[in-house]
Each structure stands twice: as structure tokens, then as C-alpha cells.
Amino acid sequence: MALINLLTKKQIEVLQSYLNDDWKYLILNGAVRAGKTVIDNYLFLLELKRIKQLAEREKEPHPQYILAGYSSNSIYTNVISSIENQFGIVMKTDRHGHYHLFGIDIVPAYTGSVRGIGAIRGMTSYGAYINEASLATHEVFQEIVQRCSVGSARIICDTNPDIPTHWLKTDYIDNHDPKARIKAFSFTIDDNTFLSKDYVESLKAATPRGMFYDRSILGQWVTGDGIVYQDFNKDTMVIPRNRVPDGLDYYVGVDWGYEHPNPIILLGDDKDGNTYVLEDYTQKHKFINYWVKIAQNLQTRFGRNLIFYADSARPDNVNEFQANDINCINANKNVLPGIECVAKKMREGKFFIVDTAAEGLLDEIYQYAWDEKTGEPLKENEVRHNDRLDALRYAIYSRNVKGGFVPWT
């Protein structure tokens, strides 16, 4: 069968570079679902075969290789189970948690925190495959590089884009010094010709404009500029109460504050995934008893199971709610995935605010801007608040996030 039926053009380019170029680092970066991991999984198997022969020549009885990823979950999902599906090769861990293939001892390393180094400290590796490399702690990445001390050891990475000043971009991808022997390939979603046109079109249409689109569709290393919620449109998204359907799935977002405003925001979702912001109870300078009463009133109206997704930074307040039989749980506070989730609802026209609850939120939405240095929203100050937007994000994201790995952390 011709290669073009098995691989995309971009993947063939990568394969040719793998086979013919002199490289130490091969870095695939760019859009999501662009075909990076599929080809890297293939190269990983080729590397293991190459190392097997090398080790035999060097009479090394126990060659080792590092398989790195953000967490044990993400290594399993992105690499191990993909390899099972792609090639029908089943990989099982031994009692040390290592994998074995073609006579190579494959040692997993978790790059999300410095604790992930433990498994590889002191080891001598014939190479490394690093999945989702931009999410790696810099220290762990450097440790992996140092462990690859066998002369011919090579490192394969794939990664989604991050801020343009990220070390992986400045120190590696943009390093064109021939002595560094770095090959980098940049992918856009259109490089993946195995995805159906419909799928790609609807993914493009649903992706919030600005930073999220530029990164996940175009594969660019950019920060946001301007306001965060670019797809918000007051004319279509602020609606009178009588346009809200009855019988929604109700829930609440809470961001604790005393000197700062303390928002409690009631939301409801309909069966089609439309989200309605219904009531906004934001106040400053109120003690917890006041908030318990507000919450109990909401419970009376919407049932004892009404979930309050709250800021975990004040466990005392969360405890007080729970002690009063309020179904209060810690929200998922992941900033960028949370913002992306809310922005996506706006982009898809599935986000509405009832006019009586809109005033404070509109103020916040219009001054919620990106910090171009950090790639996150600008911090709060005397004139700029985003307390309501935090409560809104906690509620919507906690409600929608599926378990497991979330990128952009």
C-alpha cells in the first residue's frame, strides 16, 4: 500500500526527516488533533527497534528508554492505548511500573511535577519520547535530557503550543544552531487529512476566536490580546426572563470574598446545552451566615440537591455550607480550560444572561482582558474585578469537565 494511504503528507515529511536527517531532538508542535501523536507513536516503535540493535552491538544487556508524559493517565491514553489500537501491540507494566517491548526496558516519567523525576533519577537512557512536552515542568524536562547520556540517544517530543516565551519554544523549537541538531515540525489541523471535513469545519466553528483558535486550530504559539470573551454579544445574549425555558437543570457558582465582592450566581442548563445565568447575589462585606441564608433560600426553591460549585480557597466557608446541609463542593479552578469552556458556549450561541442579573457581569466581561506576558487574564486591581466571572467559570467548567486529562494547564 502506498505510504500516502497510511500517513498524512506532513507525517511522511516527519518520517523522512526521522530516517534521513541527523538530529538529536525531533519536536512536533502545533494544532490539536493534527496527527502529531500518531506519527510519534510510530517513531517511538522505530526508535525501540534501533536501540535494540545498538544495545546488542554495544553488548548492553539491559537497555532503558524513557517514556514521558504529563501524568500516568495521559501516557496511558495518548501513547499506550493508542499503540494498542494502531498496531495491535499490547503493552503491560511489570511490578516496577515499567513497560517492555523489543527487549527494551521502558521507564515511564511523569512530567507534571518534580516528583515525576523519581523514577528516572540516576538512570542512563538510550532516548526519550516526551508526550505533551510544553506541559512538562522545565526541571523535569532538563532531567530527562540529562538522563539521555548515551552518545546516540535521541529525544522525540510532541506538544501543543503555549505562550511564545515558553522555554520549549525559545530554547528548542527556535534554536536553529546546526550543532543543537533540532528538527521541529509545525502542524495545523488541516494537515490531518484523515479527519472528516465536517468534523474539522464544526471544530473550527465552535472554537472561540482569538488565542484558543490560533493555538488549537492554527497551531501558533501566541498569547491572547484584547478582551478574553471576544465572542460575547450583548445584543443576542442578554435576554428577558420570559425567554428562559422552565424546568432547567439548576446549579450555582460561588467565589468567596469579604473585602472583595462575594458572588453567588444561579445558573440553569436546558437539554440542548444552552446555559442561562439567572440570578446574581453578589455582595461585599457579608459574613458566612448571610450566605448560608441565601443558599438555603435557593435550596428551598430548587431542591436539596442543588450543587454549589465553590472556590476551594476558603475551606472554612465550604465546611460551613456543608454543615448546614448545603450541597457545596470544591470547583474545578483550572483557569484556561475553564475560560475556554465558557468562551466555547458563547461562540456556539449557547450562553445567555437574564437582563436582571446582567449588570455586574457585563461590567466584568468588558474589562476582562488578556495579559500578553503570561497568556492568562490580567489580574484584578482597584478598577478591574472578575469575581463574578470566576464564579461563573467555576460553575460552568465544573459542570462540563469530563474526568481525566485537561490541556492548557
Ligand X SMILES: Nc1ncnc2c1ncn2[C@@H]1O[C@H](COP(=O)(O)OP(=O)(O)O)[C@@H](O)[C@H]1O
Structure-derived torsion over alpha carbons of residues 287, 304, 309, 73, reported in degrees to the nearest 10: 150
> Of residues 16-35, which lie at the interface with ligand X (CB under 6 A)?
32-35
Q: What x-and-dash track marks residues 152-191 binding ligand X by CB under 6 A?
A: ------x----------------------------x----
**30/268 with CB nearer ligand X:** 30
| Whole-number Cα distances in Å, 209 to 95, 227, 229 | 47, 11, 9
CB of 406 to ligand X, least distance (A): 14
CB 407 within 8 Å of CB 275: no
- 36 binding ligand X? (CB under 6 A): yes
- 74 binding ligand X? (CB under 6 A): no
Helical ranges in 189-270 per DSSP H: 197-206, 211-216, 234-237
Query: Could you tell me the sign of the dihedral formed by the alpha carbons of 352, 354, 357, 363, in that order?
Result: positive
CB of 23 to ligand X, least distance (A): 20
Residue 32's binding partner among ligand X, Mg ion, none (Cβ under 5 to 8 angstroms by kind) is: ligand X
- Count the residues in the chain: 409
CB of 225 to ligand X, least distance (A): 25
CB 252 within 8 Å of CB 266: yes
CB of 187 to ligand X, least distance (A): 6
Among 27, 38, 294, 406, binds ligand X (CB under 6 A): 38
Q: Would you state the cell numbers that stand for residue 217, as one nine-digit string? A: 486550530
**187/276 with CB nearer Mg ion:** 187
Contact region with ligand X (CB under 6 A), list: 2-10, 238-246, 297-305, 336-344: 2-10
Residue 350's binding partner among Mg ion, ligand X, none (Cβ under 5 to 8 angstroms by kind) is: none
> How many residues bind ligand X, per CB under 6 A?
16
Q: Would you state the cell numbers that stand for residue 289, as one nine-digit string? A: 451566615
Number of Cα atoms under 13 Å in the Cβ half of residue 280? 22
Residue 287's binding partner among ligand X, Mg ion, none (Cβ under 5 to 8 angstroms by kind) is: none
**26/365 with CB nearer Mg ion:** 26
CB 388 within 8 Å of CB 382: no
Query: How would you list the strands of the sheet with 154-159, edge to edge?
Result: 99-101, 104-110, 64-69, 127-130, 154-159, 25-30, 182-187
> Of residues 195-224, which lie at the interface with ligand X (CB under 6 A)?
195
**36/345 with CB nearer ligand X:** 36
Among 192, 230, 334, 386, binds ligand X (CB under 6 A): 192
* 3-state SS assignment for residue 316: helix
CB of 36 to Mg ion, least distance (A): 5
CB 119 within 8 Å of CB 107: yes
The one-letter amino acid at 168: L
- 52 binding ligand X? (CB under 6 A): no
Which residues form the interface with ligand X (CB under 6 A)? 6-8, 11, 32-38, 158, 187, 192, 194-195
